[in-house]
Amino acid sequence: MALSTRHLLGIKDLNLSDIEQIFETADNFKTVLNRPIKKVPSLRDVTIANIFFENSTRTRLSFELAEKRLSADVVNFSASSSSVSKGETLVDTVNNILAMKVDMVVMRHPYAGAGVFLAKHVKAQIVNAGDGAHEHPTQALLDAFSIRERYGEVAGKKVVIVGDILHSRVALSNILCLKQLGAEVMVCGPTTLIPKYIRSLGVKVEHNLINALNWCDVANMLRIQLERQDIKYFPSQREYTMLYGLNKQILDSLDKEITIMHPGPINRGVEITSDVADSKQSIILDQVENGVAIRMAVLYLLAGQGA
């Protein structure tokens, strides 16, 4: 059975059965990834282009690895070293790549809605690997999958997302995904970094980190997105760390043991200290491992090979 959507542009395009199907497929692929031979021929003869207009390490490597594990043919494209720097438009760039008979495009772009725009103009299937401060669907799927792996289910779990909610595509996708799966969601951060209408998404808002941590089962710590901030949203990084940075002392003082997550890249010593990031309560590296399985599942199902 394939997904109900032809593209993966955002979590808002997926229904609950889509998400559950991705998780079940990812369970199977995770078994494959732990075998001595980690490759399956599922996407042989499918060509996938990874088009990244923004810097990326984890997401790009994770997608590339997922594609190669599925035996797809992979083309990598970096905007900084391409004709985009000579003034070529997004549609022209992608159409030129598609003229080379590419079946699927994985794209990251600094502008929100770039994937939606592209899906209307080109024939290939589009997977959004992050568009501006809008959505990052595969990150939300792997985060929810990691919570499911840790607790057995996501429904009923209390998840707090801490940090720069305003500029974070991870936060929006996570909220949409976790709410669909029946989790309770809270956001926590300085007033200036919490979007005005966030409550309309059905989330709680808290400005005190300790209160938020005592409420939650899982804390997802986001980094400060300095590259997207056009003005100063708080006095200094040091002050932000004093109020919203998570250290071992705070973690040990809580009434219960909570799970720590981070989408990466981590700014150690700012939103989270090294002893927290590397503690047994942290599932940050599990998230990275699950990312490959989730992206394999998404590509496999979108390619219609799940039939």
Residues of each annotated binding site: 58-59, 86, 108, 136, 139, 169, 223, 264-265
Tokens describing residue 183: 């989790």
Residues of each annotated binding site for carbamoyl phosphate: 58-59, 108, 136, 139, 264-265
Length of the chain: 307
Distance CA 219, CA 215 (A): 10
**Buried/exposed 148-185: b ≥16 CB within 10 Å, e otherwise:** bbeeeebeebbbbbbbbbbbbbbbbbbbbbbbbbebbb
Residues of each annotated binding site for L-aspartate: 86, 169, 223
Residue 107: what are its φ and ψ, rounded to 5°?
A: -130, 135
Distances (CA, A) of 207 to 75, 161, 192, 244: 44, 11, 10, 9
Q: Could you count the other beta carbons within 10 Å of the beta carbon of residue 92?
A: 12
